Every structure is written in C-alpha cells, then in structure tokens.
Structure 1
Amino acid sequence: MSTPTIAGLMAPILAEAPLAHRLEVTFADVTVVLSTNSQALTNKLGDYFRDFLGSGGTTTIEMTAIEAGPPAFDLPLAVHAREPGKTKLKEASVDLPDGRVVRKLTTGLVFLFGQGKNYAVGPCIENDNQIVNFINNRFIEWRLKHGALLFHAAGVAQAGAGLVIAGFSGAGKSTLALEIMRHGTDFISNDRVMVSREGNSLTMAGVAKMPRVNPGTVLNNPALASVMNAEDRARFAALPQSELWDLEHKYDAFIDTCFGPGRFKLACPMAGLVILRWKRDASPLTTARVDLNQRRDLMPAFMKDVGLFYEFEDPSEPSMASQKAYLELLGDLPVLEIDGGVDFPKAARECLTFLESVRR
C-alpha cells in the first residue's frame, strides 16, 4: 500500500470542487490569496478582514478552502494533549511526506499544508473562525521564517511607537490593550506579536485577529458596549467580578466598530515591553523597570512555541527559540514589570507614561 500524501488526498476533492471564488487580504508586505468553492465563506471572511482587503504585498501566499462535510481521510492521526488551562482535546495530526494534516476534533475541519500548499477542507462556513486562524498562521510562519521571534502578547502603538504587552496565561493582556485604546492609541495585535530586528531598531508585527473578550472586559470598557446585547448585559452585570474573569463566553470586538476606522495598524517600530505579573487581590498596583538578563523568571510570560501549524524545514529544530535568542533580539529594549493588584485603568496610564518616556 502506497504512503498517503497531501497531493493524493486533495486530488479527488479539488477535481469535484470548482474554485470559483477568491479573496485577497494583505498584511503589511504579505498578500494571502484564498480560493474557495463558497461565496458565503468569502463574504464572511471579507467582512472579518475588512481592514486588510486587497492585494499589494511583495510576497503572495496561496490558500484553498473547500466547503464540504468533514472529510473521512484514513490516516493514523495522533491526538494532541490539552493546552495548559484548557479542558478539551482540540486537535489530532499526522506528518506525511509532503506536509502535515491536522484535524480539528470538535468541528471535523481538516487542514493540510506543506511545500507551499495550504488547504482547509470541511464545514468552513460554520467554523470560519478556524479559517481565520489558519490564514493568520500562514502569515505568522512567513514572518518567523524571515527572522522574527514569536511573542505571546498583545500590542498597541502611540505616535508610531509600539508597546508589546505580555503576561502569563489569563493575566488580561488583551483587556489592558483595549483599556489603553480608550486613550487614542492604535491597535497592533491581540495575542501574538512577531518581533524582528532591523539594524538598531525593532519592528513588531501583529496578527489580523480581532480581540475575543469576555463579559467582564465588555462591562468595564464603555468603548466595547456595542459587542454585547441588552439581555447579556443584564445577565452578566448581576454576576460578581470574580466569576466574570473566568467565563469562557467570548465576543469578537471589531476595532473599527469600537474605536473608529483606521485604528488597526498591524505593524510599527517597537519601543518597549510590558510584563504583567499582577494578582487578583486588593494590593496596590506597582511598576518597575527591569533587566531581563537579571529577571529571566519573567521570560516565559512572552516566549511562545510556534505551534502545530508551523512547517519545520529541519525536523530537529526546536519549537521555541531559546532565552538567549530572545535576549539577543531585544538587546537593551526598555522593559516594565507591572505587579501588585489588578487595576486596568491605572495600568493603562502607567503603560502610556512608560511609552512616552521610551519613545523620546
């Protein structure tokens, strides 16, 4: 029996699915071209990526999405362990001679990628958020293969100077970024930032992913009011703050709707790094400049594994860069640690003061 390949698995599917619809989105210098058999999918994705529609990138990444039932590929897929803090098994995968196949266990969507080919097959329209993530993962991979390191962080910018906001899981980095946005800043990224060095300067590139916010974030940020209906607002407002923090219920907060058009910039020079180490208690918020060479305990807050959707050219390559690589990249970049009790309004002010001081 011959070894299965992505090309062999996809050949009969592509033969029966006319790719009559096309969407182009451009993230800085990269244009992603999506071909699909579904006008409904291009409509949904076009609305989601409305800030980034069109061509013009110096690099093009081709992708194909086939709207269909969950494909029944006969493959020896291995189920991956749960991520820390997660309750569900999400993915299974197998490596083939020409790439990797990943099945989403809950939705049945299958992603196949390798050697410049990128396919999604299954119920794409119903699970368009997973297609959004696949598109963004292709852009992340391109950035990382061109010298960037991956940060688990959010990003904002003021007057062209960017601030990366990192924190251990559940710290509220996206909530803080959106609180800072109330002060007139631009949005760069929600949960992933790629940082690269160009001479003496650092550049931060974000991901075109709208912040997914919980009810507590919405209730405490007036700019996000439009993402929650009146019924949900009344229901969640009755809950204690401690319960709101851990709710799995999420809303997409579109930056243009909540803060106005033209505020999602996706890339800018990086001026500083903020690391959240605060706690949910009544202690006062504190801030301090730190040297990461002396505080390596803070580095796991932003160091990020490249993940299952990254295609390694060398199978022995580690899935996460070393602390040394991150320290060499960042050099003498100013770093601010925020400790004490959680206080988003005060933290936003401290971040803006810090950013103003380091961009002079």
Structure 2
Amino acid sequence: MTTTLPTLAHLLAPILASTPAPHRLEVTFDDVTVAVSSNSQALIDTLAHYFRDFAGGGGATVVPVVAIEAAPPELDLPFAVQEREGGKSLKEAYAELPDGRVVRKLKTGLVFAFGHGENYAVGPCLQNDNQVVNFINNRFIELRLKRGALLFHAAGIAEAGQGLVLSGFSGAGKSTLALEIMRHGTDFVSNDRIMVARGDSGRLTMTGVAKMPRVNPGTVLNNPNLASVMGEADRKRFSALPQAALWDLEHKYDAFIDDCFGPGRFTLSCAMAGLVVLRWKRDASPMTASRVDLRRRRDLMAAFMKDVGLFYEFEDPSEASLASQDSYLDLLGDLPVLEIDGGVDFHQAAMACLDFLRDIRR
C-alpha cells in the first residue's frame, strides 16, 4: 500500500496555526537577506548577537526562515537515517516530501523542513541555537550553489581584498591556521565552508559563511588573540595537559572575530587569489611548503571537494550531490596552489601562506 505524503504546508499547518511568530530579525550575507520569524524573542536575541556583524536587511534576494521554539515535534513520516563516512556517529534522519525535505536531528529532536522557498525550524531551537545558525547559513549556501558556485571544505582569510582558501582533511587545523594568520592583520572570510565561483569578469570569487570558528583548547592556549574565550579555570586545567592530548579534545569555544581581533575583520566575500592544501601530520618532521599543479596532483582534491549534504534541495532528483574533479579543475583553472606538508607548525605555515599570498599579489 502506497502512503501519500503531505506537503510542507499541510505537515506544519497545525503547528504554525497554533504558534504565532511575531518576532523578527533580518541578517544580510553579501546580497542575500535572511528574514527570520519566531515565537521566541529570546531566540531572536540570541541569533541577533551571533550574527551581529551582518545585522540588517537590504539584500537583493530575501530568504524567509520561520523558527518555532517548541517541544520536539512528533511527525508521522518515513524517516531514513543519513549514513556517515568512517563510522562516525549518526546525526540526522530525513524524509522526502512532494515539495521538499524534512530533516530531524537524532540527538536533539529539532526538525528542519524546507523546499520551494519555504524554510522552517521546529523544536528546542533556543537550547540548540547552533543548529539554527547552521540552518540559516545553509540557506545562503544553497542559493550560492544554485547560482553556479562550487562548495569547498575550507577556511579562508583575505588581505587587501585578495583571499586564500585554506583546505585540508577534517581535523587538519584549517580554522587554527586561519586564526594564526589573522594575528598578522588579515581579514577572516570563513571557518569551514567556502563557495567559489567565476564572475562575469572571469575572476574567481570566494564567499564564506557567517559562522564563527569553534576552536579547541589547544588553539586558544597558543593564540593570544583568543585568550578572552577561555575562563581562568579552564586555562589552568588545559594548560596542564600535553600538546598531543589537547589536539584531540572535543571541547570547543566560539571565537567571535570582533571580540578577538577587533571590529570590521569579518569579510564574507572577496577575490580568490590562491588555494592552500594542508597535508601535514603530527610528527617531528620539518614543515614544507611548495607550489603544485592540481591537474598533476589530483590526490589533493579530496581535501577540499565537499558534498552539498542534506540541507541542499535538488531541483532535479538526478542531480549529482558532488561535482566532479574536472568541474573543480575547470573552475580553478591556473589558480596558484600551495601544498603544506611535513610536520605541523602553525606559525611557520602562517608565514608561508602570507608569503604565498603576497607573492601572488605582486
């Protein structure tokens, strides 16, 4: 027997009818304004504080998001669990509807529903505001990708309007390196996702995501600009641990760029001057930095190619979720690429990245 699945509007109608959402917030990422409505002023205040560098409207494109603070909703849908690579713990289940997708966070019960321009978050939003932040940012990512950009698993920094994309496999220290480079006066572009597109002029543009870097205790202890994010008790506790133990800690802090480096240092979009790929490892070998040709080093491409994930709505079910290596190579063209190998040394790597960027700009 075939079950007829509801539309988004029908599925959420009882919740939306009984829960007005009069509180408003507008944030603008480049030319896209996300207009958030909620039944919770506390949630709006939390999001306004988080996105304070991007407050206000005026974007050419407006994306509505409705966030309802409530108990985890019980939805009678045929959810499938999203498998993860490498045996990682399962985080999400999803169900496809005729006009969109519903994603349920397995741990928190928070539900996200989106499709055809409608975007909803329903459940314990305030307790899990980081997931709502990610949902808002994913709406912006989707728009950029639908306009032709490719998604990179990378951080980014910029100097004098010219940016570097800093890529590497998960845990390589992309964010830590970006924040180390920031100590030398650069701007911050993105923490973990970057969209790259080629404009009408033929120049590459890199666009980041309005998400603050989440840093581990080792990163904080080794970067004086981050001192304010860690309390004295944590500082004493973590300072007593060996460096190897600090690297693997799951404890994270949000590092707000304006608090740590001063106002006006978060630049969401700029020209892309080069790409850095981290291949280093935690050993005593010397760090090395050398330019490479990606067409001869396709083995490096897995470090930055990124699947669009569950929060991307395909207009055509036959669309591939991950662009091909050739697509990335065609986009990047003859862009300068720097490979950093050998042992981990964030200070030396920061200097190598700055030298690389400044050499390109000459």
The question of a shared fold, defined as TM-score above 0.5 by the shorter chain, is answered with: yes
Q: Deviations over 1:208-251 (max 9, x none)?
A: 00000000000100000000001111111111111111111100
Matched residue of 1:46: which SS?
helix
Q: Shift of the alpha carbon at 1:82?
A: 3.0
1:150 aligns with 2:175: no
Partner of 1:128: 129
Partner of 1:358: 360
- The 5-angstrom pairing of residues 41-60 of structure 1 reads 41-60=43-62
Matched residue of 1:84: which SS?
helix
Matched residue of 1:184: which SS?
coil
Q: Shift of the alpha carbon at 1:346?
A: 0.4
**What amino acid is the match of 1:93?**
Y
**What amino acid is the match of 1:293?**
R
Partner of 2:175: 174
CA distance in 2, matches of 1:2, 1:145: 29
- The 5-angstrom pairing of residues 99-138 of structure 1 reads 99-138=100-139
Partner of 2:94: 93
Matched residue of 2:290: which SS?
strand
Q: Unaligned regions of 5+ residues in structure 2, if any?
A: none
Partner of 2:217: 215
Identity percentage over the alignment? Answer: 74
Q: Deviations over 1:313-341 (max 9, x none)?
A: 11111101000000000000000000110
| CA-based RMSD | 0.9
CA distance in 1, matches of 2:164, 2:87: 26
Partner of 2:344: 342
CA distance in 2, matches of 1:210, 1:314: 32
Partner of 2:206: 204
**What amino acid is the match of 2:248?**
D
Q: Shift of the alpha carbon at 1:83?
A: 4.0
Partner of 1:193: 194
Q: Shift of the alpha carbon at 1:4?
A: 1.9
**What amino acid is the match of 2:158?**
A
The runs of at least 4 consecutive aligned structure 1 residues that moved more than 4 Å come to none
TM-score (norm 2): 0.98
Partner of 1:5: 7
Q: Deviations over 1:282-336 (max 9, x none)?
A: 1111111000000000000000000000000111111010000000000000000
Q: Shift of the alpha carbon at 1:9?
A: 1.1
TM-score (norm 1): 0.98
CA distance in 2, matches of 1:73, 1:264: 39
- The 5-angstrom pairing of residues 174-323 of structure 1 reads 174-198=175-199, 199-323=201-325
CA distance in 1, matches of 2:42, 2:85: 32
Q: Unaligned regions of 5+ residues in structure 1, if any?
A: none
Matched residue of 1:176: which SS?
helix
Q: Shift of the alpha carbon at 1:23?
A: 0.5
CA distance in 2, matches of 1:328, 1:222: 40
